[in-house]
Chains A and B, each alone.
Chain A
C-alpha cells in the first residue's frame, strides 16, 4: 500500500530533522544474548540432572559459575546501555510496576541471588540435596527472567515487528538453543548419549526458531504496513538482508544439519561445531531483529 501511495503522489520529505538513529544498539544485543546463555544453561543443568543424574552431577558447580558469568555480563551491558547508569538504583526505590524493565530488573536480581546460593551449596557446603532444591526454584524463576525481554519489546508500542507471543517463543527458544549449545561445550565428561540428547534440543529449538522467523518474513507483511517497511530491510537488497541470512544460516540451518550429521556418525566434534555456530549465529539473529525496526521514521 505504501508503494502505491508513493507512486501515485510522489510525496517527498523536503525539510525535516534528521532521524534519531539507533536507540538500542549492540549493547542490547549483548544483553539478550548473554541472558539466553545464563538462563539456558540452568535449564539444561536441570534437564541433565533429571535424565542423567550420575554423569552430570559434577556439572553442578561449573554450570552455576558459567550462568553467573553470563548473567553478570547481561547486567553489565544493561547498565552500560543506560545514559545515566549511576541512577540504576532508582529502579529499586521508585519502581513502576507496569514497566517490564522494572519487573525484569527485580527478577534478574533475585535470580542472581539464587545462583549465588546454588554456588554456595555446591562449592562451600557440598550439599547436593539443597542445591537441587534451590535449583528447582531457580529454574522456575529463570522462565520469566528469560521472557521479560519479550514483554519489554512488546511494550515498545512503536515497533510493530515485535509481537508478544512470537517474541516470548523466540526468547525461550534462544535460551534452549544457547543453553544446550553451551552445555555441549561445557560437559566434556558427559556420555555421547547425554550430549546427543542436548543435540536434539539444539536442533529442535533451531528448527522451531527458524520456522518462526521465516513465517514472520512471509506472513508478517500481510497484516501491517509498518511490518512491510521494516522487513524490507532484510529482503532483496535491504540494508540488513545479508546479515539476516548469515544469522539464519549460522544460528539455525547449519546447526540443524550438523546435529543430524553428528547423529549418523556419532561424532562429538561435529556436535561441538554445531554448538559454536549456534552461539555465534544467535548474536547475529538477535542483532538484526533488534536494529531493523529502529531504522524506520516514526513521524
Chain B
C-alpha cells in the first residue's frame, strides 16, 4: 500500500475548511500549521484572478526529512506515510532545514518537530484524513496509489498531462499531486510576498522559532 493525496485545484474554492479541520483534529498550536491554503492573486485590474493552493507534507518516497533525522523520529510507515515520533525527537530542526516544501514546524508547546501525518491515527481506524472529510467540494482525493482501481489512481489516469508535484527537481518523489496547478501555485518563487497579508505573524507569545517574525 502506498497512500497518496491529490488536490484538484479546479475545484478548490479557498474556504479553508481543510485547514481548520486539520487544526482541530490534530490540536495544531497557534502560530503553526500542518495544512494551509495559500492565496495568490494574479494579473492587473480588471484582468485579475485568485488562486487557492492547499499545502501540506508530500510524504515523499525519498524524504530528505527522514534521511537527516538523527534519531529516526521521522520514519516511514508501511502504508507510505512519513510519520513522526514526538517522544523520540530531539528538536535539532534538521528536518525543518531539509524539507524543500517548508512542511515541518517546531511545535511551540512540545518543542519537537511536527507536520502532517495524513492523519495516520485516523487511517489506522479506517477513517479518512480530517481535511478530506471537511472539504465541501471534494477537492482532496486520498487513497492507495498502488491500487489501480482506487479513486486517486483513476483521477491520475483521467487527468494525465495535467498532474503535477511540487519541486520535482529536488528528487523527493512526492506522494502528493495537484491537478490544474501551474508554476504560480506550486512554485513559491513565482509570486511576490508583500508584508501584511499573512496569518499568524503578529503573535508575540510562544512563537515556534526565534527571530525574524
Q: Which residues of A contact B (CB under 8 A)?
A: 2, 5-6, 9-25, 81-85, 87-88, 90-91, 94-96, 98-102, 105, 152, 155-159, 225-226, 229, 294-299
Contacts and interface: CB of A to CB of B under 8 A. Distances in A.
16 contacts: A11-B184, A12-B191, A13-B39, A15-B198, A16-B193, A17-B199, A23-B106, A25-B210, A85-B90, A102-B71, A156-B94, A157-B64, A158-B101, A158-B102, A296-B189, A298-B99
Contact of B100 (A5, A157, A294): A157
Question: Which residue among A22, A83, A95, A156 has the maximum number of chain B CB atoms within 10 Å of its CB?
Answer: A83
Contact of B188 (A87, A96, A298): A298
B102 A95 contact: no
A124 B33 CA distance: 56
A98 B42 CA distance: 42
Smallest CB-CB A-B distances: 6 pairs:
A83-B91, A18-B201, A298-B102, A157-B64, A11-B191, A101-B70
B68 A155 contact: yes
Interface in B30-70: 31, 33, 36, 38-44, 50, 55, 64, 67-70
Interface string B194-207: 10011111000001
B96 interface: yes
Given A20-B96, A20-B105, A226-B189, A99 B211 contact: no
A85 B39 CA distance: 37
Contact of A225 (B102, B189, B213): B189
B71 A21 contact: no
Contact of A101 (B41, B92, B198, B208): B92
Contacts of B100: 157-158, 298
Given A15-B38, A16-B38, A17-B200, A9 B184 contact: yes
Contacts of A91: 70-71, 90
Contacts of A5: 183-184, 190
Question: Which residue among A94, A105, A225 has the maximum number of chain B CB atoms within 10 Å of its CB?
Answer: A94
Contact of A82 (B72, B91, B191): B91
A21 B209 contact: yes
Contacts of A85: 90-91
A81 to B, nearest CB: 7
B200 A99 contact: no
B179 interface: no
Contacts of B93: 23-24, 81, 83
Contacts of A24: 93, 97
B12 interface: no
Contacts of B201: 17-19
B112 interface: yes
Contacts of B33: 17
B20 interface: no
Contacts of A83: 90-93, 106, 111-112
B43 A10 contact: yes
B172 interface: yes
A299 B88 contact: no
A13 B187 CA distance: 12
